[in-house]
Amino acid sequence: MTDMNAETVVLGDLADGRLSGATAELIALGRKLGGPVAVAFAGVGLESAASEALAAGADKAYLLNSPVLAELQTDALVAAFEQLCKHSSPAVVLVAKTPMGRDVGPRLATRLGVGLAQDCVDLRRDSSGTLIATRPVYGGNALAALAFSDARPSIVVVRGKVYPPLAPDPARKGEIVRFEPKLDPSAVKARTVQFVRREAAGVRLEDAAVVVSGGRGLGGPEPFGMLKELAGLLDGAVGASRAACDAGWIDHSYQVGLTGKTITPNVYITVGISGASQHMAGCSGAKNIVAINKDANANIFKEARYGVVGDWKKVLPSFIEAVRELVKS
């Protein structure tokens, strides 16, 4: 049987020093599993993020303070989280599928000698209390259900945009625990040479209510200008398939799919995208898919609520003009 007093620990991610959306989602998931939920933050100046975590539904926030953690290098993070897990003995450790999480999760599992499930889209307990994780396999063509053993903790890397965060409650209180891991600076094998911040205009792709994406069928980089125009009219963001990104038509930061970003917009407009399973894995949470493709047999039409079979060069300009008129009215 499950020990309902055992903690679920979320490895916290920060966004410009604040609680990230991915971490807020994992707090909501932790509460669904039952038992107390704690969030572990590593670095310096973490008090604000801890207060946000409590407001988002956490019962406790661990602050892992050490000068060695200032640059958030993977070697230091793994060592710090390992010490925390051995100290607090959590039942479950939840990790967001972010650059940090993808790196730290597997290493932490190896250090602790426990199982790990990657890229999960669902997590639940069965009638006996066993933790069951669901993850896509075979390029997103099937789902596998994985049962964890009794070894603790069970470590789960969770795909973003799967669980909606709880509404923040600023009045909510919880415990803040300062934990100082014993870290050897010589154990950190990498160092940060330079941070490069990329300025982005408009809404983030992951947060957009409307996303307009282009694929191989566009034939080159120039048509993405039209997609940006349409996205601008709809207060949305531009995305792309992996094929378009690999061709160099648009930066990989715009990629939607299994190896790109996961999005859950209200409206997802695809132009020249065939709808391969790897792409659909990143947009399956879209509420409405609109497809424009000249191939009537393209897989995208199986997933789309609305579809236009035709040459995008003829369809898209008319579509943009229609949207412009609607926006004006």
pLDDT digits (tens, 9 = 90+) for 190-220: 888 887 877 767 788 998 999 999 999 999 9
3-state SS string for the chain = CCCCCCCEEEECCEECCEECHHHHHHHHHHHHHCCCEEEEEEECCCHHHHHHHHHCCCCEEEEEECHHHCCCCHHHHHHHHHHHHHHHCCCEEEEECCHHHHHHHHHHHHHHCCCEEEEECEEEECCCCCEEEEEEEHHHCEEEEEECCCCCCEEEEECCCCCCCCCCCCCCCCEEEEECCCCCHHHCCCCCCCCCCCCCCCCCHHHCCEEEEECHHHCCCCCHHHHHHHHHHCCCEEEECHHHHHCCCCCHHHEECCCCECCCCCEEEEECCCCCHHHHCCCCCCCEEEEEECCCCCCHHHHCCEEEECCHHHHHHHHHHHHHHHHHC
Q: Which amino acid is at 88?
A: S
Where in the chain are all domains bearing CATH 3.40.50.1220? 205-328
pLDDT digits (tens, 9 = 90+) for 35-75: 999 999 998 888 999 999 999 999 999 999 888 998 889 99
Residue 2 has what pLDDT? 53
Length of the chain: 329
Q: Is 138 exposed, middle or buried (0-12, 13-18, 19+ CB in 10 A)?
A: exposed
Residue 82 binned pLDDT confidence (cut-offs 50, 70, 90): very high
Q: Which amino acid is at 224?
A: F
Q: Are the C-beta atoms of 78 and 111 separated by less than 8 Å?
A: yes
Residue 3 has what pLDDT? 62
Question: Closest Cα partner for 247 from 270, 221, 275, 271?
Answer: 221
Q: Give the global pTM.
A: 0.86
Q: Is the dihedral of CA 157, 160, 163, 167 positive or negative?
A: positive
Residue 4 has what pLDDT? 61
For the domain spanning 205-328, the CATH number is 3.40.50.1220
Where in the chain are all domains bearing CATH 3.40.50.620? 8-187
Q: Does pLDDT of 1 surpass 50?
A: no
Residue 62 has what pLDDT? 97
Q: Which CATH architecture has domain 8-187?
A: 3-Layer(aba) Sandwich (3.40)
Q: Does pLDDT of 84 surpass 70?
A: yes
pLDDT digits (tens, 9 = 90+) for 255-276: 999 889 999 999 999 999 999 9
pLDDT digits (tens, 9 = 90+) for 125-181: 999 999 999 998 887 778 999 999 888 999 999 998 889 999 999 999 999 999 999
Angle separating helix axes 74-88 and 99-112, nearest 10 degrees: 50
CB-based contacts of 236, cutoff 8 Å, min separation 6: 203, 208, 209, 210, 211, 212, 230, 265, 267
Q: Kindly state the average pLDDT of the residues 9-18.
A: 89
